[in-house]
Structures are given as structure tokens and as C-alpha cells.
Amino acid sequence: MARPKKPLISRTRVIETALMLIDRDGLKQLSLTRLAAELGVHNSSVYYHYRYKADILADVLRLVLDSFVVESDTEIDWKTYILEYAPRFLDTLNAHPQVVPLLVAQTPRTFGLEYENQTVSILLKAGFPLEYVIVIREHLEALTVGALQYGNNNLFTDVPESLTELRSAVEAARAVSAQDRFRLALKAYVEGLEIQLAAWTTGQSESFI
């Protein structure tokens, strides 16, 4: 069927509906046909805006990431910046966990670059060596994605009773919220960076302490 001469639905509505379907049914269940049915239109109305599912998924990810608003403040302390914004980024992804595989697969990164540039500026101003700034940014994303994967204490789900120490530790960990798990890891990472930064800036270490 040919594309309609005028769009019956907006591009924004297509993407918002696609995100709703992904949240509800999962990433693998999304198709152009199911999307058109949910919108109450023929496939051709979706094709008017998007010919390929991959393009829809890219804009879905962009929609989610655009909801993560970062104030433009390069004067903020680097520790405050990380400790405040990383949990907010986690909350953004937690609201749409089915979208996380899209984020992981989106390499090289082609959007959200203004935020990335601000992060780099803040780290450089703090004194971090240029060659390690992107490494730190990658670590922060790894921490965030890892928190999403293991935030519900699902690394160990069926521990034999004979392994008493491990079983007890797993049970005790259930009392720690996903948010507190992430903040613990983030705080430990930031404190380690602070020690390393001091070594770099005082000339005590050219690499790692």
C-alpha cells in the first residue's frame, strides 16, 4: 500500500505509542503492524514517517534520553555532578527498562552529545587527565546498566542450603533497596576517583595508585 499523501498521525504519536508498547509488551514484540493496529491506522500511515523498525527504535531511545534533563552548569563540583545526576539517569532508565538494550547497542553514541560534552568539561576542569575522561564516563554507564541488571538481587536466586554463608548473604541483601545498592557502588567509585585525582594532580602518579 502506498504512503498517504498527508499524515493521519504525527511522528511524535508514533514514537510515544511505540514506547508504550515496548514498556507493556517488551522490545521483541514491537512490529510496524502491531504499532499501526495500536494507533488504529493502516501500516501505510506508519510508513509515512518510518520505513524501518530500526529508525523507530532509535527515536524511542532518543525520546527516553531526552526526558533526562541536565541543567547547563559547568561550575558544579564534579563529585556533586556524578552523585546527583547518575541516580537520576538510573531513574530515567528504570522507568523504561525494556529500552536499556537499545542504549547498550547504541554505539557509537550519536545523540545526547551536549550532555556528554558537559560531563567532559566538568571532569577536565576538575583536573582529570584528558585520556581518562571518557574511560570514567564509560565506567559510570557500566555502573548504571549493571544496577539495572542486578538491582533486584537476581544474581543469586537458588542457592543450595549447604552453602550457608552465601545463602545468608543473599537473604540479607534483599533488605537493601536497588537505590541504596547503586548509591553504595557510586559513592565507592567516586571516593576512589578522588584519591586517584589527588595523586594525578600532585604528580605522585602518572597512571594508577
The whole-number pLDDT of residue 6 equals 62
DSSP annotation string for 12-42: HHHHHHHHHHHHHH-GGG--HHHHHHHHTS-
All cell numbers assigned to 45: 500511515
CATH number for the domain spanning 22: value is 1.10.10.60
The model carries a pTM of 0.78
Q: How far out from the chain centre does Cα 60 lie?
A: 13
**Is the distance from CB of 47 to CB of 5 less than 8 angstroms?**
no
Whether residues 46 and 124 share a domain: the answer is: no
The whole-number pLDDT of residue 13 equals 95
pLDDT confidence tier of residue 195, bands split at 50, 70 and 90 = very high
Average pLDDT over residues 33-47: 93
Whether residues 177 and 146 share a domain: the answer is: yes
All cell numbers assigned to 23: 514498556
Whether residues 98 and 196 share a domain: the answer is: yes
The parent domain of residue 42 ranges over 11-64
Whether residues 130 and 50 share a domain: the answer is: no
**Is the distance from CB of 89 to CB of 144 less than 8 angstroms?**
yes
Residues 6+ apart with CB under 8 A from 92: 64, 65, 67, 68
User: Is the per-residue pLDDT at 7 higher than 70?
Assistant: no
Count of Cβ atoms closer than 10 Å to residue 139 Cβ: 13
pLDDT digits (tens, 9 = 90+) for 84-106: 989 988 998 889 999 988 888 87
User: Is the per-residue pLDDT at 170 higher than 80?
Assistant: yes
pLDDT confidence tier of residue 209, bands split at 50, 70 and 90 = low
pLDDT-above-70 percentage for the chain: 90
**For residues 156 and 30, which has the higher predicted lDDT (pLDDT)?**
30
Q: What is the CA radius of gyration of the chain?
A: 22
User: Is the per-residue pLDDT at 116 higher than 60?
Assistant: yes
